[in-house]
Amino acid sequence: MIDNVIQAQGLAKVYPGAVPVTALSHLDLEVRRGEFAAVIGPSGSGKTTLLNLLGGLDTPSSGKLLVDGQELSGLSSEKLIDFRLAHIGFVFQAYNLVPVLSALENVEFVMLLQGQPRKKREERALELLEAVGLADRRHARPGEMSGGQQQRVAVARALASRPGFVLADEPTANLDSRSAFDLLDVMKKLNEDEKTTFLFSTHDPRVMERASRVVTLEDGLVVSDERRPG
């Protein structure tokens, strides 16, 4: 088992144009398996760019990036899609659930894309809905659920294929305080029970308080990296 689920060395991203924009500048970062970490920083610091690179949604201009031991830059588009399905879970600010599918079907969706058998998909999806406290809402569609409930379904979906890690981009931004705290409790418990690595991009102090590690970016560079005991 690889100890570091993410290894980034000299990672840089420059967006071309009349005036090129450097979003990340020779960034080094390692994320250990099982961490519950937050990446913070002001707007324009490079948080979203970093998550896009780690999730294989964008490619670096230079540097080395290994995710679960795989160098992403060497993969074809098709293999990159397969790798994301198997190794990376995503939780977005806007939930991104499929509106015509039930909660159970939304959680199953990644496993369906992987070609897993129906019985296995249903068992895993129900197990995760129970874990996030929504087994009784398994037949509800997104429009019939609150924002907090939808985000719990999104978390369950992100964990469905037992990925190496979950990238969570501002997952609490659209939630009220109670829903945000409840969601963070759920994610922390899943982090402990499933041993899944969580990496947040956030401005939310509630997330920062719960994180066992806080990495601060400014101008595309890591300016502080604080690990907390326990």
Residue 52 three-state SS = helix
User: Cβ contacts of residue 83 below 8 Å, gap of 6+?
Assistant: 56, 67, 70, 72, 75
pLDDT at position 52 over 70: yes
The predicted structure's pLDDT at residue 38: 95
Mean pLDDT along residues 11-23? 92
Q: Is residue 9 part of a domain?
A: no
Closest to 10 measured CA to CA, from 68, 64, 71: 64
Q: Is residue 26 part of a domain?
A: no
- Is residue 98 a contact partner of residue 174, using CB atoms and an 8 Å limit? no
Q: Is residue 105 part of a domain?
A: yes
Through-space distance between the first and last CA atoms of the chain, rounded to whole angstroms? 22
Tens-digit pLDDT profile for residues 18-48:
999 899 998 999 999 999 999 999 888 999 8
- Is residue 176 a contact partner of residue 183, using CB atoms and an 8 Å limit? no
Q: Is residue 116 part of a domain?
A: yes
The predicted structure's pLDDT at residue 230: 55
Tens-digit pLDDT profile for residues 73-127:
778 888 988 898 888 999 988 888 999 999 999 999 989 988 999 999 999 999 9
d(CA 228, CA 210): 10
> Exposure of 203 by Cβ count < 10 A (0-12 exposed, 13-18 middle, 19+ buried)?
middle
Q: Is residue 4 part of a domain?
A: no
* CATH, residue 97: 3.40.50.300
| DSSP string of 177-198, one letter each residue | HHHHHHHHHHHHHHHHHH--EE
The domain total for the chain is 1
The single-letter DSSP state of residue 57 is S
Average pLDDT, the chain: 90
Q: Is residue 13 part of a domain?
A: no
Q: Let me know how long the chain is.
A: 230
d(CA 130, CA 134): 6
Range of the domain at 78: 36-60+72-227
Q: Is residue 29 part of a domain?
A: no
- Is residue 41 a contact partner of residue 47, using CB atoms and an 8 Å limit? yes
pTM for the whole structure: 0.89
User: CA torsion 98→104→105→107, rounded to 10°?
Assistant: 70
- In the structure, what pLDDT confidence band is assigned to residue 2 with cuts at 50, 70 and 90? low
Q: Is residue 66 part of a domain?
A: no
Residue 78 three-state SS = helix
